[in-house]
Amino acid sequence: MDEHSIRALVEQVRDGRLERRQFISRMVGLGLSAPTAAMILMHHGIAQAQTALPYKPTRRGGGGPLKLLWWQGPVHLNPHWATGTKEQEGSRIFYEPLASWDADGNLMPVLAAEVPSRENGGLSADGRSVTWKLKRGVTWHDGQPFSADDVLFNWEFCKDPATAASNIATYRDIQVAKIDSHTVRVTFPKPTPFWAEPFVGSAGLILPRHVFGPFSGAKSREAPANLRPVGTGPYRIREFRPGDLILADANPNYHVPNRPHFDSLEMKGGGDAISAARAVLQTGEYDYAWNLQVEDEILKRLEAAGRGKVNIVVGGNIEFIMLNPTDPFNEVDGERASIKSRHPAFQDKAVRDAMALLVDRKGVQDFIYGRTGVATANFLNNPARVRSPNMKFEFNVDKANQLLDAAGWRRGADGIRAKGGARLKFVFQTSVNQPRQKTQAIIKDACAKAGIDLELKSVTASVFFGGDFANPDTYQKFWADMQMFTTTMTQPDPQIFMEQYCSWEVAQKANKWAGRNICRWRNDEYDKAHQAAQAELDPARRAALFIRMNDLVCSDHHIIPVVFRPRTSATGARLTAHLSGWDNDLWALAHWYREG
């Protein structure tokens, strides 16, 4: 079906001749995903019907304790510094956005009274503004009322460079105005198809002005609430031990009736993914285990015990390898991995192309990940309409050797290739995790056959993803030749996800390594495509721009996708946990409950 026909169907939905579910069904029949169809309607200003999540309890509390196992514990609880998923998730217990993304890619109002649309006057026809009506009667954990002043403050807080917020790009170029005590208008500098970025999902958690106001800008790291949050969420902080434990109690004044179900909450950090899976699926000690990057055969054996189930939720997450374009071991102007430097070996495209040929992606899928990781050549894998058909992957040691021979990289007496004083000997780092160490070993073996020596480095997950500015081993600093991890896609639109390779997002000393472009790869054509996508209102042309971005970054081979990873977690047999592949795991924590 061509774009003209799709637009005709959209207009039928707008004027009531076609139901929303019928439109989505037709799009799915054409090979699109339900989230993609929902995004098409959203881009045309058509909101979804407001639906409630299934929930059986009839009163607040009474569910006893909820025990969550996050084998990487958060080190702070300020969502606007969160460069790692664990800090986003820990913060989500206490803080809420105006709206969240459900499993089908629909927006669900949280602190908003409704999802903005053309029908309710929330979206402007020119795509330049969105008006949010806020829910009334919401209070912060300390009893102060939530209002438009808090939303306005979060914009001011995040756009201030001195704050060094990880989501500064979301707020830097917009304008936010208070219309009345419970209405705000967000104005964009140009027509903006993805208007549901500021104040939505993981990038949109709202901090209270009266608590954080005295700690704006350069003082933001000094705020006591960074470790003792004051939010609007379903649970209130009792105790926080960074990297280890969060204890919280049900919020007796939570703004949704009969919620939360649980009287208290424990989020335990530390350990590893396998022990976390066992604690839910085998011993039943915990109710929920996050991010089970565990060999699939182990998960199947544990699940057979019948004490819980493995959840595999499709989203956009990708396990991938970065080849550093900068020099991680020599300083320029007092900075390692400076964007003013060039990597002595990876600046040669032949070396990068050879490295891509030495990653056995299908083997990693077949022998390690199984259901939980699908071999891919694409960085952007979902929704389906933005998945590139152009990228292919190949595992071929012989071809890698031919490329390196032709490029003049000669084997020395020790078998390691060298050229012009540079040797193909690389430090390859990742977090401590059994599938990652096995993946490293597979790649090291293939590289050895091509005259490349890999020094494998495994960093404790709490350090690798910790964001400690003083620690040299964080993935944000990327002081290694290569590194591997999973990056998460936390909304069904790829705009924020693909900011990871924009030149203005480079992580560096000047922004305390808070930029989203950790790889430091830069490309003018990529930047222009991303800027164009930010203003392209035609869904088909916008999808083509994202496909082009994917192809640029993947074909250059500073980025080597390994496996497309659905969200994998475990829940106890009686726990109902509403999960989404397009938001944080705890996006709907208030609506979790246990039966029986």
- Domain CATH number, residue 530: 3.10.105.10
Domain count, the chain: 4
Residue 303 DSSP class: H
Same domain, residue pair 195 and 206: yes
Q: Taking the CA of residue 216 as centre, how many other CA atoms within 13 Å lie in the half-sphere pointing to its CB?
A: 13
pLDDT band at 36 (very low <50, low <70, confident <90, very high): low
Whether the predicted pLDDT of 49 surpasses 60: no
pLDDT band per the 50, 70, 90 thresholds, residue 21: low
Model pLDDT, residue 109:
96
Q: What is the DSSP string of 337-387?
A: T-TT---TTTTSHHHHHHHHHT--HHHHIIIIIGGG-EE-S-S---SGGG-
pLDDT at 499: 94
Residue 84 has pLDDT above 80, yes or no: no
The domain of 297 spans 62-94+233-315+566-596
How do residues 486-544 score in pLDDT, each as one tens digit? 999 988 999 999 999 999 999 999 988 888 999 999 999 999 999 999 989 888 899 99
For residue 26, give every residue at least 6 positions away whose Cβ sits within 8 Å of its Cβ, in sequence order, or none: 9
**Residue 121 counted as domain residue:** yes
Residue 55 maps to a domain: no
- In terms of phi and psi (left: phi > 0; alpha: psi -120 to 50; beta: otherwise), the region of 408 is left
Find where tokens 């939360």 sit: 260
Does residue 129 lie within any of the structural domains? Answer: yes
Q: What pLDDT is recorded for position 9?
A: 77
What mean pLDDT comes out for the span 270-295? 94
Answer whether 70's CB lies under 8 Å from 196's CB: no
Q: In what order do the strands lie in the sheet with 183-187?
A: 129-133, 183-187, 175-180
Residues 6+ apart with CB under 8 A from 5: none
pLDDT digits (tens, 9 = 90+) for 332-380: 999 999 999 999 999 999 999 999 999 999 999 999 999 999 999 999 9
Q: Are strands 288-289 and 331-332 parallel, antiparallel or unpaired?
A: unpaired
Do 397 and 298 sit in the same domain of this protein? no
Nearest alpha carbon to residue 231 among 93, 138, 100, 95: 95
The domain boundary, picked from 197, 223, 249, lies at 223
Measured between alpha carbons, how far is 308 from 195 in angstroms, rounded to an integer? 39
In a domain, 48, yes or no: no
* Residue 57 in domain: no
Q: What is the CATH number of the domain that holds 237?
A: 3.40.190.10
> How far apart (Å, rounded) are the C-alpha atoms in residues 322 and 324?
6
Q: Secondary structure of 143-200 in the HEC alphabet?
A: CCECCHHHHHHHHHHHHCHHHCCCCHHHHCCCEEEEEECCEEEEECCCCCCCCCCCCE
pLDDT grade, residue 469 (50/70/90)? Answer: confident
Shared domain for 430 and 536, answered yes or no, is yes
Residue 42 has pLDDT above 70, yes or no: no
In this predicted model, which residue has the larger pLDDT, 50 or 311? 311
Average pLDDT score over the chain: 93
* Residue 532, Cβ density class (10 Å: 0-12 exposed, 13-18 middle, ≥19 buried): middle
State the amino acid at position 167 in one-letter form: N
The string of pLDDT tens digits covering residues 544-594 is 999 999 999 999 999 999 999 999 999 999 999 999 999 999 999 999 999
- What Å distances lie between residue 157 and 176, 217, 226, 596, CA to CA? 12, 7, 14, 44
On the question of pLDDT at 26 being above 90, the answer is: no
Same domain, 521 and 550: yes
Give pLDDT, residue 470: 82
Q: Do both 464 and 573 map to the same domain?
A: no
Q: Are residues 238 and 333 in the same domain?
A: no
> So what's the pLDDT on residue 43?
63
Quick one: 397 and 522 in the same domain? yes
Instruction: Verify that 106 and 244 share a domain, yes or no.
Output: no
Look up residue 571 and give its two tokens. 């829940």
Among 196, 223, 250, give the residue marking a domain's end. 223
56 belongs to a structural domain: no
Give the domain CATH number at 149. 3.90.76.10
Interval 398-418 mean pLDDT:
98
Whether 467 has a pLDDT exceeding 90, the answer reads no
What is the reported pLDDT for 431? 95
State the Cα–Cα distance between residues 495 and 505, nearest whole angstrom: 13
The lowest-confidence range among 240-244, 300-304, 462-466, 577-581 is 462-466
Confidence at residue 6, expressed as pLDDT on a 0 to 100 scale: 76
Regarding whether 275 and 341 lie in a shared domain, the answer is: no
pLDDT-above-70 percentage for the chain: 94
pLDDT > 90: what percent of the chain? 79
What pLDDT was estimated at residue 252? 97
Domain boundary among 204, 223, 242: 223
Whether 51 is covered by a domain: the verdict is no
| CA atoms of 23 and 34, how far apart (whole Å) | 10
* pLDDT at position 51: 62
Long-range contacts of 527-532 (CB under 8 A, 24+ apart): 527/502, 527/503, 530/495, 530/498, 530/499, 530/502
Predicted confidence at residue 82, as pLDDT, reads: 80
Task: For residue 484, list its beta bridge partners.
Answer: 321, 430
Q: Do 467 and 338 lie in a common domain?
A: yes
Q: Are residues 292 and 330 in the same domain?
A: no
> Has residue 52 been placed in a domain?
no
Is 328 in the same domain as 458?
A: yes
